[in-house]
Amino acid sequence: MVEVKRKKGESFDGMYRRFLKRMQFSGKILEAKGRQFKQSKKSEAAKRKSALVALQYRRKREYLRKIGKLVEEPRRRW
């Protein structure tokens, strides 16, 4: 935890700036952001299941493309 005490004759703004600078150098902000957006890892069974579902969709899409029922749109380049 970052601790900042107000110096004699120091304005609140000055103390606040010092606090922000210490917070930035401590790495606590980056750590908090990392925790905020961290996604839990999938279990092996969940990975396998999602891979099988993706494979099924891929095979169905390929089949529809081969028989001419799937009209592919041209890929956009950004």
Sequence spans of domains, the chain? 1-38, 41-71
Does the pTM surpass 0.85? The reply is no
Q: Which two tokens stand for residue 71?
A: 């009209």
Query: pLDDT tens across 10-64, in order?
Result: 999 999 999 999 988 998 888 888 888 888 899 999 999 999 999 999 999 999 9
From residue 50, alpha-carbon distances to 38, 54, 62 in Å are: 20, 6, 18
Contact partners, residue 31, CB within 8 Å, separation at least 6 = none
Q: Which residues contact 18 (CB under 8 A, 6 or more apart)?
A: 4
